[in-house]
C-alpha cells in the first residue's frame, strides 16, 4: 500500500452487511478532525411535494391540494384579472414582500437566488416592501402554503424553515401567488395524464379536481415546478396516482426550480416583453439567434443557465460578434449568478477570438447579449455543463472559497481557480482563512499556487499564507483533497493593480 495507508470508512445503509475496517497504525493519520461531508446542492429529489404535504399536515389550515390556502367566501378554483398583480408604467410586475419571520443568512440567500430567477427571465420583480398596501407576508410558522393570485393587503405566503427551504418550493409558492394552480389541475389534463382514482382514498380525491383554467395556449408541462409527484396521495405502496400518457415513464414532479414552460406561462400571463431563455438541463448548447447566420439587430437577450447541481461550466466553440472600440456596439457579458446584479465574470467582449472556459461559483450563470442597429457578426455557440468546483475570474476583484466553506470541503476534490487580469495588470492575492489536513510535504490535502507557469508554493495545515503579488497577469490556484479528514478549507480574495 506504500507509505500512505487509508482508512476506508464505510457508511452502511439499513439492512446492509457489516464490514470490518482496517485499523491504522499509531503513526498514521489521526482521526482528529474527521467530519461528515454533507453539502446540500441545488438538486432536489423527486417527490419533494410530499415534503410540502408532510409539513402542512402538522398545520391546521384549510388547504386545497396540499398547499393552496382558501379564503372564505371566495372560489378556490377561479381567478379573474383582478387577482393578478398590476403592471407598472415601465412594464414591470412588482411583488412587494416582507418577512414576517426571521430567517438565517443561508435561508435569506436561498430566497434571493430563488427570487432573482424571476428578474432574469420575466418582467416580475420581487422587491422588499416599503409602503405598498398589497404585499406577500412570508412566514415560517405556517408550513409551505400560498393563496392563488393577489388577494390584497398582506397576504400570507408560508415557507417553513423546517422542511420548505428549497428553491423549487419557494418558487412553487410564489407561482401560486402569481395566479397559477398545480399543473395537473388544468382543464385539459386528461389529454396528458391519467388520474388513477382506485389508488386515492375518498378523502383525498378532491386534491385531483380540475380547474376552469386559462392554459394560455401553451402545452402541458410535465416538468413544471407546479406539477404533482407521480405517487402523491397514493394509498397503495408502489402504485402511482398520476400516470403520464402516452409514455408512463415521463418524469413529473421535479422541484429543482421553475421550468422553461413555467417561464413562458408567466411571461404570457403578464404580457412580459423580454428576450430570455432558461437552460436547465445537466448539459446543453447555448447559441445566438439565427446562428450560424447573422444575429438580429437591436437585440437585448439573456440566457440563464441553471444546472441541477455543482457549478456551471461554459465553453465557447465559436465566437463572432461585431468588433468596436471597448465593445460599445455589440457584446456579451457573463455574470456569476442569476441576474445582472451579480459579480461579472466577463465584461463587454466582442470580436472573433475564442473566450477562455468559464466556471461559475454556483449552479447559476447568466449570459447577456446586446447588439445595435448596425453591422452584425455570425454570433456564438457554446457548450454548457457542470463541474464540482473551481472558477474563472476576470473581474478586477473578487472573493472565493473552497467548496462548502466554512464547513468541511469534502473528499476527492481537484479544483482549479484561475484569475486572468488584463495584459498590463498584476494580481495581489490574500488569504483571510486557511485550514486543511496537515501532512509532510503537503501530500494529502493542499493548495498549490502558480504565477503564470512558476510555482509559488504548495500549502497545507493551518498555514499563514503571506499576501502574494504576481509577476504576470495570470494566477492559478489548485485545491486538492483526498478521501479522508476534511477541514474547512480556505477563503481568499484578489485585486488587480498596475
pLDDT at position 295 is 96
Q: Identify the residue whose cell numbers are 468596436.
A: 324
Domains of the chain, earliest start first: 49-183 (3.40.390.10), 276-387 (2.60.120.290), 397-497 (2.60.120.290)
Q: How many other β-carbons are positioned within 10 Å of the β-carbon of residue 494?
A: 24
Q: Identify the residue whose cell numbers are 405517487.
A: 231
* Per-position DSSP letters for 31-97, written without gaps between them: -TT--------SPPPTTTHHHHHHHHHTS---EETTTEE--TTS-SS---GGGSPPB-TTS-EEEEE
Sort strands 426-435 and 489-497 into parallel, antiparallel or unpaired. Answer: antiparallel
Which stretches of the chain drop beneath a pLDDT of 70? 1-51, 53-54, 56-62, 70-81
pLDDT at position 78 is 52
Which residues touch 72 (CB under 8 Å, ≥6 apart)?
none
- Residues 399, 225: Cα–Cα separation, whole Å: 33
Which residues touch 214 (CB under 8 Å, ≥6 apart)?
269
- Residues 301, 463: Cα–Cα separation, whole Å: 46
Q: How many other β-carbons are positioned within 10 Å of the β-carbon of residue 302?
A: 21
**What three-state secondary structure class fits 319?**
strand
**Residue numbers annotated as active site:** 173
pTM of the model: 0.77
Residue 170 · residue 200 · CB < 8 Å? no
Cross-strand pairs, 387: 311
Amino acid at each position: 500500500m506504500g507509505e500512505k495507508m487509508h482508512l476506508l470508512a464505510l457508511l452502511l445503509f439499513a439492512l446492509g452487511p457489516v464490514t470490518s475496517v482496517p485499523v491504522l497504525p499509531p503513526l498514521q493519520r489521526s482521526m482528529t478532525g474527521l467530519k461528515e461531508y454533507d453539502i446540500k446542492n441545488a438538486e432536489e429529489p423527486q417527490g419533494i411535494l410530499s415534503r410540502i404535504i408532510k409539513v402542512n399536515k402538522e398545520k391546521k389550515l384549510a388547504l386545497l391540494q396540499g398547499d393552496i390556502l382558501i379564503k372564505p367566501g371566495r372560489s378556490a378554483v377561479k381567478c379573474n384579472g383582478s387577482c393578478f398583480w398590476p403592471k407598472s408604467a415601465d412594464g414591470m410586475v412588482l411583488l412587494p414582500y416582507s418577512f414576517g419571520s426571521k430567517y438565517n443568512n443561508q435561508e435569506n440567500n436561498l430566497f434571493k437566488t430563488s427570487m432573482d430567477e424571476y428578474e432574469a427571465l420575466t418582467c416580475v420583480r420581487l422587491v422588499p416592501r416599503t409602503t405598498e398596501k398589497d404585499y406577500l407576508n412570508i412566514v415560517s410558522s405556517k408550513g409551505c402554503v400560498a393563496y392563488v393570485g393577489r388577494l390584497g393587503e398582506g397576504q400570507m405566503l408560508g415557507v417553513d424553515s423546517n422542511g420548505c427551504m428549497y428553491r423549487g418550493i419557494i418558487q412553487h409558492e410564489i407561482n401560486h401567488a402569481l395566479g397559477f394552480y398545480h399543473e395537473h389541475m388544468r382543464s385539459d389534463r386528461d389529454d396528458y395524464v391519467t388520474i388513477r382514482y382506485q389508488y386515492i382514498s375518498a378523502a383525498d380525491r378532491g386534491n385531483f379536481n380540475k380547474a376552469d383554467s386559462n392554459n394560455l395556449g401553451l402545452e402541458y408541462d410535465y416538468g413544471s415546478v407546479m406539477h404533482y409527484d407521480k405517487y402523491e396521495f397514493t394509498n397503495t405502496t408502489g402504485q402511482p396516482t398520476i400516470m403520464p400518457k402516452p409514455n408512463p415513464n415521463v418524469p413529473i414532479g421535479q422541484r429543482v426550480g421553475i421550468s422553461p414552460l413555467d417561464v413562458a406561462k408567466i411571461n404570457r400571463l403578464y404580457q412580459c416583453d423580454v428576450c430570455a431563455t432558461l437552460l436547465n438541463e445537466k448539459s446543453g448548447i447555448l447559441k445566438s439567434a439565427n446562428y450560424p447566420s447573422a444575429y438580429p439587430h437591436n437585440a437585448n437577450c439573456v440566457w440563464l443557465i441553471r444546472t441541477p447541481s455543482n457549478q456551471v461550466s461554459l465553453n465557447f466553440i465559436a465566437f463572432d460578434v461585431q468588433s468596436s472600440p471597448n465593445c460599445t456596439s455589440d457584446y456579451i457579458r457573463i455574470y456569476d449568478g442569476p441576474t445582472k446584479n451579480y459579480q461579472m465574470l466577463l465584461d463587454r467582449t466582442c470580436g472573433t477570438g475564442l473566450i477562455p472556459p468559464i466556471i461559475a461559483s454556483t449552479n447559476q450563470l447568466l449570459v447577456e447579449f446586446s447588439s445595435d442597429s448596425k453591422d452584425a457578426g455570425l454570433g456564438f455557440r457554446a457548450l454548457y455543463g457542470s463541474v464540482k468546483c473551481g472558477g474563472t475570474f476576470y473581474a478586477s476583484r473578487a472573493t472565493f472559497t473552497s467548496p462548502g466553506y466554512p464547513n468541511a470541503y469534502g473528499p476527492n476534490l481537484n479544483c482549479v481557480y484561475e484569475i486572468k487580469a488584463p495584459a498590463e495588470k498584476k494580481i495581489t492575492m490574500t488569504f483571510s482563512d486557511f485550514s486543511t489536513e496537515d501532512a509532510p510535504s503537503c501530500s494529502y490535502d493542499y493548495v498549490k499556487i502558480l504565477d503564470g507557469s512558476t510555482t509559488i508554493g504548495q500549502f497545507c495545515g493551518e498555514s499563514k499564507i503571506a499576501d502574494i503579488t504576481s509577476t504576470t497577469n495570470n494566477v492559478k490556484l489548485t485545491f486538492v483533497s483526498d478521501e479522508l479528514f476534511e477541514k474547512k478549507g480556505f477563503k481568499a480574495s484578489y485585486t488587480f493593480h498596475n
